[in-house]
Structure 1
């Protein structure tokens, strides 16, 4: 992912109001390892049910506002498969819902997905394959597995953002 500025991030949102865009609490970008990110995702520290994702669609930064489902305190937490990185081992996935762009979004239409609660998908797809995933094959096979995971993450995250934007 190419490095982004605060101004580029704020200008990228496609399913927010002007007020939501200006009130968005952005992450600290100073330590971002852009070469290791397939998308930039974060939760709002002041409004923990709000989250944001920015990725590149046709080389243009495109951001969406997501809302996390309110966790029921009495509900038993279970691991779920992240729809983007398809990792189950390290994280819990949470249901995030995005208002669609344009008139459909203004009418209340939304789309949802299960995504890593902490948006760690980029890190998850880059972890070394386990022996059950790659066997005892050479490093080249392990590298190919990681490259396939990265391509799959990019494709699935992009498809979701395209679905949000589909009505624009």
Structure 2
């Protein structure tokens, strides 16, 4: 991923009205991000409960998406993240929704998917050992490529409302 400035990050969001953008808090370690080894940037906002952000490249440009975590915990014993395909304890996977970009979002359209609750998919796929006993050990490069492809597909789906 190409390096982004704080202004680039704010300008990248496609599904948030201007009044929501003032709530964006960059990750505490933003100045230390290793952009060369990053497929996408995702983090939770510690100041606003249930808010998260994801920035991925789409058609060569950064596209930011504001995410909202569903209230309440999962009753499932385990869950799978739809981005990194990592099996986790149920309380470590959350349903996140994203308002669609453009007119579809203006009309209330949204999309939802299950994602690691701490948005740590980027790190999870780089672990050589499975996180759960039932998880199949896969080639790390294959996991990274799959996560990147599924993240890009999620971003494209958010953009499909424009």
The alignment's TM-score, normalised by the length of structure 2, stands at 0.88
Q: Aligned partners of 1:89, 1:117: CA distance in 2, in Å?
A: 10
Gaps of 5+ in 1: 135-141
Q: Aligned partners of 1:133, 1:19: CA distance in 2, in Å?
A: 43
| Greater strand content | 2
- Cα–Cα, structure 1 residues 89 and 22, in superposed 2: closer, same or farther, change >3 Å? closer
Q: Which moved more, 1:120-129 or 1:148-157?
A: 120-129
Give 1:1-40 correspondences, 5 Å limit. Answer: 1-28=1-28, 29-40=30-41
Q: Could you say what the CA RMSD is over the residues aligned between the two structures, in angstroms? A: 2.0
Matched, 1:96 2:90: no
Q: Aligned partners of 2:108, 2:116: CA distance in 1, in Å?
A: 24
SS in structure 1 opposite 2:87?
A: coil
Give 1:9-158 correspondences, 5 Å limit. Answer: 9-28=9-28, 29-72=30-73, 76=75, 78-89=77-88, 92-129=92-129, 133=136, 145-158=139-152
- Cα–Cα, structure 1 residues 89 and 17, in superposed 2: closer, same or farther, change >3 Å? closer
Maintained 8 Å contact 2:40/2:56:
yes
Show structure 1 runs of 4+ deviating over 4 A.
Answer: none
Aligned length: 156
- Cα–Cα, structure 1 residues 133 and 45, in superposed 2: closer, same or farther, change >3 Å? closer
Maintained 8 Å contact 1:41/1:53:
yes
SS in structure 2 opposite 1:158?
A: helix
The alignment's TM-score, normalised by the length of structure 1, stands at 0.85
Q: Aligned partners of 2:14, 2:112: CA distance in 1, in Å?
A: 16
Gaps of 5+ in 2: none
> Deviation per CA, 1:32-68, whole angstroms, max 9, x where unpaired?
2223321111111111211110011122000011110
